[in-house]
Structure 1
Amino acid sequence: MTALEAVAVHLPPVARPIEELGEELGLSDRQVKLFRRFHGLDQVRLDPDGDLTDLLEGAATALTALRGREHRVRYVLHARSMPIAAPYPHNPLHELLGRLGLEHARAFTVTHHACAGSLLAIDVAGRLLAAEPDPEALALILAGEKTFTRDARLVPETALFGEGAAACLVRAEGERDRVLSYAVDLRGEFDGRLAEDPDLLARYQRDYPDAVVGVMRAALDEAGETWDSIRLLLPHNVNQVSWKRICRTVGLPLDRVVLENVPAVGHSFTADVFLNHHTATTRGLLHPGDRYLVAAAGLGATFAAMVLQH
Structure 2
Amino acid sequence: MPDSNPQVADAADIRARIDTTKPHSARFWNYFVGGKDNYEVDREIGDQIKEIFPGLVDVAVASRAFLGRAVTHLAGEVGIRQFLDIGTGLPTADNTHQVAQRVAPDARIVYVDNDPIVLAHANALLTSTPEGRTAYLDADLYDPDSVLEAAKGTLDFSQPVALIILNTLGHVADYERARGLVNRLMAGLPSGSHLVISDSTATSEGMIAASEAYNSSGAVPYYVRSVDEIAGFFDGLELVEPGVVQVTAWRAEEGDSVNSKVAVDAYGAVGRKA
Looking at secondary structure, tell me which structure has more strand per residue: 1
Structure with larger Rg: 1
TM-score bin (small chain):
0.3 to 0.5
For CA contacts below 8 A with separation 6 or more, give which structure has more relative contact order.
Answer: 1
